[in-house]
Structure 1
Amino acid sequence: MKKSVIKILIMCGCIIFSQSMKSNMVFAAENDMTKINMNTVAVSTKTVNDINDNSSKENAKNSNDEKLPQHMSADVASINAISKIDVPVDKSWKIRFNMPLDLNSVKSKIKIINKDTGAEISSSISLSENDTVVTISSHCDPNSSYSLIIDKDLKSKSNKALNNPVYVEFKTAGQTASVPDKTDSLISYIDDINVTIKENEKFSFPDTINANMSNGTTKKVNVSWDKHAEVSSKPGTYTYYGTIDGYSKKVRLNLTINDLKSSDNTVKEVRVDSTNDVNLTVKQNDSFTAPDTIDGITSDGQTVKVKVKWDTPITTNRQPGRYTYYGTAEGCLVKAVLNLTITAPEIKTHSDFQKNLYNYLSNADNRQSVMTRAIELHGGDLSNNCAYFASEALRRAGLSDLPESVANTRTLTAELLSRGWKKSTNLDELKSGDICFTIAYDSSGPTHTYTFMKWVDPNYHEYAYICDNQGNEYEGDPYHQRNINFATETKDPISYFMYVPQQ
C-alpha cells in the first residue's frame, strides 16, 4: 500500500512539473547591481516559442524585420522555489518578462513576506522597458528570512498568466554595526581623505565627512576618529582611521606634515576649503583628456592649483548634452566638479531632408514618440515594426505624403523610388539620415530597415550608430550601435541604402 501511494505522489509531481513548463508567460530575474548568479531552472526553447500566437505570425508577414531568436537568462523561472542567502537589506529585485505586463496586476500579484512574522513588507513596484521589466524595492531587516511571491494569476497586457506561482526564498545579510537608521545599507563607499599641513600648524579632525550613497547622492555623516594628531608631530605622513555608525569599513585620513625647512621651490600640497567648478565644451567623440589639476580656494581666499582624481572615467563618446563628473581634490573634503558639455559633431548629409531626419532622431523624446506611433500603426504589436518606424520618422521629417499603410521593406523601397530617391550600395557614400536596407532571403524583401546616423569610426565601415525599432534590445533606446557590412548571429548585413538627392 505504501509503495502504491509513493508511486502516485511521484506521478503527480511529474504532472505538476510538466504542466508548469507550459506557461504562456515566462521571465527571468536579475540584479543589475551585484550580478549574483542564482540557482536557475532551465526554460526550454519550446516554452518561449509558444508565446507567439497566430496573430503575431500573421503580422510578421506584413512587416519585415529580422527574425531574432528569443532567449533569456533564467535567474528565476516559473517553477520551483529559489533560495538565496546574504541578500542586501535594500536589494532591488528586477524581473524581466517576455511580454508587457499590466501594472495593476503587477502591484497586486507580487509581494514580499517576512517568514518570521508573516507580515507583508511595504514595497515599491514599477515597470520599465516597455512594461517588460518589474522592479521591486523594499527595506528588509538584517538576518531575517523572506519570501518574494509572484502569484500565478499575474496577467500580461494580452491577458496571459503564469500557470504556477513563483517563490524566491532569501535571507538578508547582517549588519556589522547596530544603529537605528541602518546607515550601512545606504552608504556605498567613502573616499580616503588626504590633508597636508605645515609643521606645528594646528589641525582638527573633521566631525563630518562626505559619504557616497547607494542612490548616487552625497551625504554628510558623523565620524569618530581613533586618535588625534598632536601639534608637535614630526614631518611625515600619518594615517588615521575613523568609524561611522552603520558603516562596516574604516574611514582613512592621510595627514602629511611638511618640514618648515623645506625648500620654497619644492611643490607642496596645500589644504583647501573648496574648488572651482571646471566647465568644458567638447565635440562628440573628440579626443579628450580630463585635467589632473584644478583651482582650489584656501581658507584665506587664495587660489592654488591642486591635484584631482576623478571618480569615473570621463569620455566624449556620449550623446550631445551636459554631463557632471565628480572627483577628489587633494587636501579638500568637498567634491570637485567638472561640467562637460558635449556638442554634436558636424555631420554630412545628401540633402536638407536627410539633415532634418537626422536632427529629428537625434532627440531621445522624438525617437520614443516614433516608436510609440509605430506600435500603434501595427495594431499594438511590439515586434516586426521596422518599416512602420522608418516610415513614421520619414513623415515627421517632411515626407508627409508617405502612406501610413507602408508596412514592409519592399513597399517602402518602392515608395521612395517613386519619389525620386536614389539607391546605392557604395558605403563610402553613406551619410547621416540615409535609409538602409539589409539583405533579402526571398521575394518578401530585405529583412530589416533602419536610419543611418553616423559611423562609430569614420575610417571603417564595420559599425555605426543607427535608429530603428529594436531599442528594446538596447536598454529601450532606438539609438544604438549596429554591425553594417558583415553579418552576426542575429543581425544581417546591409544590402543597399537610399536618399533623396539635393535639389
Structure 2
Amino acid sequence: MKKIFKAFIIMILALIVCIPMQTMVQASTFTSMSSKKDVEVSKPWTVSFNKALSASTVNTTNIKVVDEDNNYIDITVALANSNKTVVTQPLKSYEYGKTYTLIVTKQVKSSDGKVLPSEVRMDFTTKSSPTKPSEFTVCIDPAQYYSTITSKSGVKAKDINLSTALKLGTILKSRGFNVVYTRDSDAVSWTQGGEDDAKALIAKNANADVFLSINTNSYTPDATANGIETYYTTNKSANKLLASSLQAELITATKAKNRGIQVVGSTSNFAMLNKTSCPGIVAELGFITNPSEEILLESQQYQNNAAKAIANGLMKYAGFANTDTTYDTTSTATCAADILVNVQEGDKYTLPVTTDVTMSNNTKKTLGVTWLNNVLNISDIGTYTYYGNINDTSIKVKAIITVEAAISPTTPVIIATPISTTTPIIITTPTTELQSTVIGEKLFIYLTPSANVVSTLNTAIRLHGGVTINNCVYFSSEAMRRISVPVPIGVCNTHQYLTYLNSNNWSKTKDIKQLTPGSLCFTTNDCTGYPTHTFVFMGWVNDGDYTVAYVADNQGHAVHTRSMLAKGDTDAFAFFMSK
C-alpha cells in the first residue's frame, strides 16, 4: 500500500482539521469530524490539500452542504492556490441557529488519481439571530447611480435615493445598528457593468444581516401611476418577511397607494438581489414620473418619513422593541385659489362646502370651507365677493360671483357672423386671475362649478346668434377667454380653432393615457377633414379605464360623462391639445 499522506485541511477562521487519504477506498462508511458552533451565517469554508486536485472532481456534487432535513444548500465551489485549495460558500446566507453538514465525498481526487478512504462530514451550527441592534449590520444601497431618470424639474432619481438612504442610515445608527453603505456620496468605484457584483461584495465583506436598496420608480406611458411597492426574491423565506414588514410600515407612514410586495421575475432589473448573500429587498418609494409624487419624493419631510418607516419595519422584522412609531405630517395648507362663478340674474347658487387647497409640497387637497356670509345676492347684475375660512387652517378663500343679465329663451340675440370688430358685445371675464399659470389647470378649475358651465354655454349661444346647436368651439373658446387666454371672438369652427392653437405653440398628443384635466380634446374628422367636436377633458370616471371621461362642453349644463370611443352618434377621441 502506498504511503498515506495528508490531503484535506478543513479550516474556518483559525481551525485546522487533517483528513487522511490513500490510493484505494478501504471503507464505505463516512468519517465525522467534530462539530462547530456559532458559525457566521455567511462565512465560507476553506478546504486545503497538500497537492493539486483533479479539477473535474471538484464540484457541488462531490462537495456539498445539506440542512437538518437533508435538503441541499446552494453553494459555490472554487479552486485556488494552484488547485490545492477549495473554497465553498453559500449563495445565500445560512439561517440563524440552524445546523448544517458539510460533506466531502470519496469522489474528490488528487491530480494523480488518489481518493479519500471514506466520505468526510462535519456538522456546524450557525450563530443565533441578533438579540439587539448592536449585533445587527445593515447594508444600505442608494440605487440607480447610473440611471438617467429625472423629474420634470430636473431632479435625478439617484439623488433622491441618496438623500433618503443617508437619512435611513442616520436613524439606524442612532438606534444602535451597524450601518454600511454601497455609496454615501455622488461617486462610486465600480463600472456600470460591475455594479451588482460590487454591491454584493460590500454586503458580504460587512457580514451584513440585510441588504436594503432604496429606489425611485418611473413609468412614462402613464403619468398617473403612483404608489409604493417592495421587491424580493423567493429563494430565501426571510426575504418575503422583510419585504412585508417594510412595505406595511411605508404605507402607514406615507399614506401612499399600496402596490404591495412583488416577486422579482427572471427578466427583472433587480438582478443584484440574486447576488447578495443576506436577505434583501428593493423599496420603490414612489413614481418620479407622477407630478404629485415627484414633489413628495423631493421633499425632506417625505424622505424623513420613508426612512423612518424602513427603520421601523426593519426593527419589526428583526424582533427588536421599538417605541418611536409616529410620523410627521408631510404637508400643510398654504393657499386656496379664488372661486370664480358666473351666474344669471335670478339663478340659484349655493357656495361650495369644499374647495381645493394647495399644500406646502405643492400637491392639491380638498378641504372644507366655512363661509362668513351665506346670503348671496344673485338678483342684481354685478360682481360680488364672499370670504370663507378653510376648516382647521388659517387660510382664507374668496368666491367672486358675477351676475349677468338673463337671456330670454324666446328672444334670441342676433349677432352677425363673422363678428365685426365694431360690433359691441359683452364678454364676461374674471375680475381676478387664477393663481395657477397652467392653462389646463385654470380651465379645469373654472369649469368645475356647474354655474360656470351654464354661463359659458349661454354666452356661446349668444355668440352663435341664438342657435343652440353646433356650439362646441364657441363654448371652448369662450371658456378660454374667461381664464384670460385671448382667443379671437370670431373663431367659430374646429379649423379656425386649431389654426389659432397651432400658431400659439400648443402641443398635439394622440396618446389618450397622457390626458390631464383641462386639456382640449378633439374627435375624429368629418368629411371636410377637420374634427367634428371639441370638449374640455375633466378627468376619468374610473382610474386606469380610458374609455369614459368627465368632460365640459356645449352638450350639458354641467360636467358630464362622454365615451372616448366611437359609440352611436358619438365620435371617437382622436387627439388633444395642451400648453
Calculate the TM-score normalised by the size of structure 1: 0.29
Q: Which of 1 and 2 has greater Rg? A: 2
Calculate the TM-score normalised by the size of structure 2: 0.26
